[in-house]
Amino acid sequence: MKVAASIFVLTGASLMVIAGVGLLRLPDVFSRMHAQTKAATLGLACILTGTALSLPGPAVAKVVLALVFQLITAPVAAHMIGRAAYRAGVTMWEGTLYDELGSHGRAAEEAPGPRE
Q: Which residues between 76 and 105 bind other proteins (CB under 8 A)? A: 76-78, 80-85, 87-91
Q: Dihedral sign, CA of 60, 65, 67, 68?
A: positive
CA angle (34, 29, 115) in 5-degree steps: 135
Residue 32 interacting with other proteins (CB under 8 A): yes
Q: Which residues between 41 and 70 bind other proteins (CB under 8 A)? A: 41, 43-44, 47-48, 50-51, 54-55, 59, 62-63, 65-66, 69-70
- List Cα–Cα distances, 23 to 43, 51, 97, 108, in angstroms: 14, 25, 21, 28
Q: How far apart, in whole angstroms, are the C-alpha atoms of residue 78 and residue 85?
A: 10
Residue 75 interacting with other proteins (CB under 8 A): no
Q: Which is nearer to other proteins, 17 or 108 (CB)?
A: 17
User: 3-class SS at 61?
Assistant: helix
* DSSP per position, 88-104: TTPPPPTT----HHHHS
Total residues binding other proteins (CB under 8 A): 54
Provide the binding-site residues for other proteins, judged by CB under 8 A: 1, 5-7, 9-10, 12-14, 16-17, 19-21, 23-24, 29, 32-33, 36-37, 40-41, 43-44, 47-48, 50-51, 54-55, 59, 62-63, 65-66, 69-70, 73-74, 76-78, 80-85, 87-91
